[in-house]
């Protein structure tokens, strides 16, 4: 009984250890908008940028989707050339992949942090202002 218990605990420990290691190797780090504007990055360096889509900022121009994202403090304009996921909408958290050029972010890949909760326009489920640290 005791022996089995120890074996099970060891097994669980091993799985947790192994998956934490693998998880940390498969993480996608991203910068918030404030961080991005503070750090120095060259025009060609690709980074990941995360934030919330600002209301009424989405527009289309040719094949590009233009919108603004924020972390509650700083806004960055995004010019996006890629497939826009259906889940993409205002107030939604997105992670973009691309380069920063004169405070405009050129992205071609988007990851939507999706939640099946509808976030209403007056920020019922979360408040962008409260979000910042």
Partner 1 sequence: MISSIGIVFSWISFSLLVILFFNKKKYYTEILVRINLFIQIFLFCLLEVGLFLNDFSVSYIANYSAKSTPPLYKFASLWGSLDGSILLWNLCLSLFMYLYLKLYKNTSSDLDIKIFSLIMIFFVGYTVFSSSPFAGCIELAAIGCSNSTILPFQELVTSSIGRGPNPLLQNHPLMAIHPPMLYVGYVGMTMPFVAATGRLYSKQGRSNDWVEVAEKTTYIPWLFLTIGITLGAAWSYEVLGWGGYWAWDPVENVSFIPWLLATAFLHSAKIQKSQNTLLNWNYILVGLMFLSTIFGTFITRSGVLISVHAFSNGNIGTYLLFGMLLFSLIFIVIGSKNIDYFSKSKKIDNWFGKSGFFVYNNIFLFSAALVVFIGTIFPLIYETLYDRQITIGRSYYDVIVGPLLLILLGLMIFSIKLPIKNLNFKKWTDENNNLINSSLILSVFILLYLNNSYVLVVTVAISVLLIVLTFKNFYKNFRGQKTNISYWTGQIAHLGIAIFSLGIILNVSQSYSTEKEINSFEEFSFNNQTYFVYDSIEESLPEKNVIKLPISNQSTTKFTSLNIFKNSSQQAISSPAVFRTFLNDIYITVKFIDENSYKLIVRNNYGIFIMWIGLFISSISFLPRLKKYEK
Site residues (vs partner 1, CB under 8 A): 1, 11-12, 15-16, 18-20, 22-24, 26-30, 32, 50, 55-56, 58, 60, 62-63, 65, 83-90, 93, 95, 111, 113-118, 120-122, 124-127, 130-131, 133
For residue 96, CA distances in Å to 8, 12, 84, 112, 128 come to 41, 35, 11, 9, 18
Nearer to partner 1, 64 or 104 (CB): 64
Nearer to partner 1, 25 or 102 (CB): 25
Helix (H, G, I), strand (E, B) or coil at 73: coil
Residue 54 C-beta: closest distance to partner 1, Å: 12
Residue 132 C-beta: closest distance to partner 1, Å: 8
Look at residues 48, 34, 28, 31 and name the one whose alpha carbon lies nearest to residue 132: 34
Nearer to partner 1, 102 or 130 (CB): 130
17/74 Cα distance (integer angstroms): 37
16/9 Cα distance (integer angstroms): 10
Residue 36 C-beta: closest distance to partner 1, Å: 12
Nearer to partner 1, 45 or 56 (CB): 56
Residue 86 C-beta: closest distance to partner 1, Å: 5
Nearer to partner 1, 93 or 99 (CB): 93
Q: Are 105 and 96 in contact (CB under 8 A)?
A: yes
Task: For strands 104-112 and 75-80, give the pairing.
Answer: parallel
């Amino acid at each position: 009984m005791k022996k089995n218990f120890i074996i099970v605990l060891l097994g669980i420990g091993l799985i947790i250890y192994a998956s934490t290691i693998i998880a940390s190797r498969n993480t996608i780090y991203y910068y918030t908008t404030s961080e991005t504007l503070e750090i120095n990055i060259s025009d060609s360096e690709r980074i990941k940028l995360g934030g919330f889509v600002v209301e009424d900022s989405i527009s289309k121009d040719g094949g590009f989707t233009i919108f603004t994202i924020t972390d509650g403090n700083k806004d960055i304009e995004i010019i996006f050339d890629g497939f826009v996921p259906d889940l993409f909408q205002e107030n939604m958290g997105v992670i973009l992949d691309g380069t920063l050029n004169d405070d405009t972010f050129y992205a071609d890949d988007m990851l939507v942090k999706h939640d099946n909760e509808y976030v209403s326009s007056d920020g019922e489920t979360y408040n962008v202002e409260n979000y910042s640290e």
